[in-house]
Structure 1
Amino acid sequence: MTDETTNDTGPAAPGGVPDADRHAAKMAKKKAARDKIMATKTGEKGLVIVHTGKGKGKSSAAFGMIFRMIAHGMPCAVVQFIKGGMETGERTLITERFGDLCQFHTMGEGFTWETQDKARDIEMAQAAWTKAKELIRDENIRMVLLDEINIAIRYDYIDAGEVVAFLTTQRPEMTHVVLTGRNAHSDLIEIADLVTEMELVKHPFRSGVKAQKGVEF
């Protein structure tokens, strides 16, 4: 005796059509629509990418892209605007194993409340920006990460208008530039091709947990 609600493809949904067949038909329709959309996306260009917001993960996500570049054998570079002398896992890995593909420049000396010397902070930020422009102009370098430049702009160590003008007029056509840090300037967001805001929902620091190796650095 045959159970009319089931067959070899699984239980039937209302109407007698098996769930597996309904799912396959739905996914086929979705794939066709997706393929149609993707067929229109044929262009390539260098992107201005902004990671901002109060949540954790801005630099981590940016370094993920840097490691993708390295994996594809594509030259890239990192300029850190705020971070100081503390060793980080990503810097150690890149400088020790991938220095031939990725230049790494830690130009900051820590957050301004640590240095307590605004003039020195401005001087270091300006030096970092000069290095960043040099790297971006090099057409052989496919991606440049400007880590925490948004903070330097927020503190007026670097002029936002100058950064925007440079990225829109002097960046090579196929060069990607990633800018990280909280409170990204509205003018940067305006010219960016991709903007992601990390939202803070919960953080262990609020529960008395310090920054830990492998998670924060």
Structure 2
Amino acid sequence: MFNMNLILASSSTYRAQLLRQLRLKAQSIAPNIDEKPVNGEDPKQLATRLAAEKAAAVITQIGRLEEPSIVIASDQVAYCNHKMLGKPHTAENAIAQLTDMSNKTAEFYTSLFMQNTQTQQTFTHLDVTKVNFRTLTSQEIKNYVALESPFDCAGSFKCEGLGISLFNSIETHDPSALVGLPLISVTKGLINLGLNPLLIGNAE
């Protein structure tokens, strides 16, 4: 099936950039949902629910399209020291997050929800990546935050950049998941939903 729209339910430049690795043309649409956790939700439940809600919100926005579409939605929740960590938004919060994770292991739950709007078929996945932080000095943390300004990143780092210097190790099945979109699973989902990145003609 070649005449198929691809829609990324996200305004994240990181996810859009990752998706371009698959050489597919995709439209990005912000889902604009409330991402606050509900009472009693654990990180896995929160990430899974938000990905599904993002997809549903964008499907409602686009309405009924003549051509079939595949909507891709993802969410990431960081968890360390018995706390869920969101985007820091400020240097002060980023420094606090990294200080809290120093010499600890943080878990990053990256969810994926994909849907073919014509067949209603869905594909879901939850990736768990463990990041072991080395012991960081306060000066290292302050310098890193000043250099890379990771204010829109859960966990306050960019692993594709200088953030890699903060770690002892990363345990993952998919290195792209930590950046925000698990491309190995996205590829599996696309194939299951009718679009194989290696067998179509809409590559950029």
Is the TM-score greater than 0.5? Answer: no
> Which structure carries more strand by proportion?
2
TM-score for both structures, normalised by structure 2: 0.28
TM-score for both structures, normalised by structure 1: 0.27
> Which structure carries more helix by proportion?
1
Choose 1 or 2 for highest CA Rg.
Answer: 1
